[in-house]
């Protein structure tokens, strides 16, 4: 059995789909469905059972899963991923402590543990974007979400645990199954609806003289490619450590917008608007994953171009409203 936490969420549900496509049905989905539409991401997926995340942890620590001999791996994608979340106690409890408890159980039972970290741990990028353990203590996240992930990475490093598990620093992941994320969903998802309604797309102005409007850069990576990489890691039990997972390319918001307009068969029409004051001191103007460490561990990575990925997302999932 494979346990996927956050299994009804964005990356988690895509992972369940990827496992299903390989013939894997022995899956336990762990999540918190609530009263929103996240449940729709499970429609069409094959899995053994679903457990609320609190019930799962209680059963796990209470001995319900025994010595873990029936569990091949725990793919821990579950977390609060809202970069604007201000309840620090909740983020610490939900993102950091929950992961520590789960990781400790897996390591004690010899169960493969792969967890989601984040590029938000790099903060403003003053120390670059190199997934080198030696740099970890010097990183300064810009928001509490990033710090909740950084604290876990740092704990795993200082406890000497990274040689026996995998942490993945996801960069800007986008793709099908993210609609339930609301304001936290990708610009691609937001853009299609905005362009359909108004014929144009709004992007944030730059509030730094070294970046023109819309020329702020991000490492955008497609969720289908993220799933393919995670499955490669799952098939490589000797690969462990903390790795970046992005495309390895820094692309501008203008380029992303052009890709969306192109996929919709429209000419770009962009309006630049002021960034909210509350975001200006916490905004990353540039990210780009250094991918050498992961390529050395896995070889060739199945990462497609921004244009190809956006076209697939728009034409095969957003316009027809088709989850994956």
Residue 213 has phi, psi (to 5 degrees) of -55, 130
* Beta strand residue intervals within the chain, DSSP E: 2-5, 27-31, 49-52, 73-76, 112-118, 166-170, 172-174, 201-204, 217-218, 220-222, 241-245, 251-252, 270-273
* Confidence (pLDDT) at 282: 83
Token pair for residue 264? 């919709």
Residue 108 to residue 110: CA distance in whole angstroms: 6
Of the options 3.40.50.720, 3.40.50.300, 3.40.50.2300, 3.50.30.30, the CATH number for the domain spanning 2-174+219-248+287-304? 3.40.50.720
Residues 6+ apart with CB under 8 A from 19: 2, 4, 27, 231
Does the active-site annotation cover 45?
no
pTM, rounded to two decimals: 0.95
Which of 114, 132, 324, 120 lies closest to 239, judged by CA?
114
Does the active-site annotation cover 181?
yes
Residue among 109, 181, 232, 282 flagged as catalytic: 181
Residue among 122, 145, 147, 174 flagged as catalytic: 145
Token pair for residue 99? 């992961």
Longest dimension (CA), the chain: 58
DSSP string, 164-226: GSEEEEE-EEE-TT-GGGGGGS-HHHHHHHHHHHHSSEEEEPP-STTS-TT--EE-EEEHHHH
* Per-residue confidence in pLDDT tens, the chain, 324 aa: 999 999 999 999 999 999 999 999 999 999 999 999 999 999 999 999 999 999 999 999 999 999 999 999 999 999 998 888 999 999 999 999 999 999 999 999 999 999 999 999 999 899 999 999 999 999 999 999 999 999 999 999 999 999 999 999 999 999 999 999 999 999 999 999 999 999 999 999 999 999 999 999 999 999 999 999 999 999 999 999 999 999 999 999 999 999 999 999 999 999 999 999 988 888 889 999 999 999 999 999 999 999 999 999 999 999 998 999
């Amino acid at each position: 059995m494979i346990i996927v936490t956050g299994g009804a969420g964005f990356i988690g549900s895509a992972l369940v789909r990827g496992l299903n496509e390989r013939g894997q049905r022995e899956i336990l989905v762990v999540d918190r469905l609530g009263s929103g539409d996240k449940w729709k991401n499970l429609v069409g997926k094959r899995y053994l059972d679903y457990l609320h995340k609190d019930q799962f942890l209680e059963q796990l620590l209470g001995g319900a899963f025994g010595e873990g001999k029936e569990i091949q791996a725990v793919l821990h994608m579950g977390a609060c991923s809202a970069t604007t979340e201000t309840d620090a106690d909740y983020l610490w409890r939900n993102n950091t402590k929950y992961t520590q408890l789960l990781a400790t159980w897996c390591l004690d039972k010899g169960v493969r543990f792969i967890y989601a970290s984040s590029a938000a741990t790099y903060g403003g990028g003053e120390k670059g974007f190199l997934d080198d353990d030696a740099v970890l203590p010097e990183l300064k996240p810009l928001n509490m979400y990033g710090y909740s992930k950084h604290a876990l990475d740092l704990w795993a490093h200082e406890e000497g645990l990274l040689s026996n598990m995998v942490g993945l620093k996801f960069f800007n992941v986008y793709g099908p199954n993210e609609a339930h994320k609301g304001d936290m969903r990708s610009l691609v998802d937001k853009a299609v609806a905005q362009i359909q309604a108004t014929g144009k797309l709004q992007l944030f102005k730059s509030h730094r003289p070294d970046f023109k409007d819309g020329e702020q850069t991000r490492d955008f990576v497609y969720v289908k490619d993220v799933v393919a990489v995670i499955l490669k890691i799952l098939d490589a039990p000797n690969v462990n450590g903390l790795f970046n997972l992005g495309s390895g390319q820094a692309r501008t918001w203008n380029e992303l917008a052009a890709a969306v307009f192109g996929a919709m068969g429209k000419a770009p029409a962009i309006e630049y608007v002021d960034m909210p004051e509350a975001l200006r001191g916490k905004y990353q103007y540039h990210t780009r994953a250094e991918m050498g460490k992961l390529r050395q561990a896995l070889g060739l990575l199945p990462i497609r171009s921004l244009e190809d990925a956006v076209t697939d997302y728009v034409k095969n999932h957003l316009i027809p409203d088709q989850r994956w």
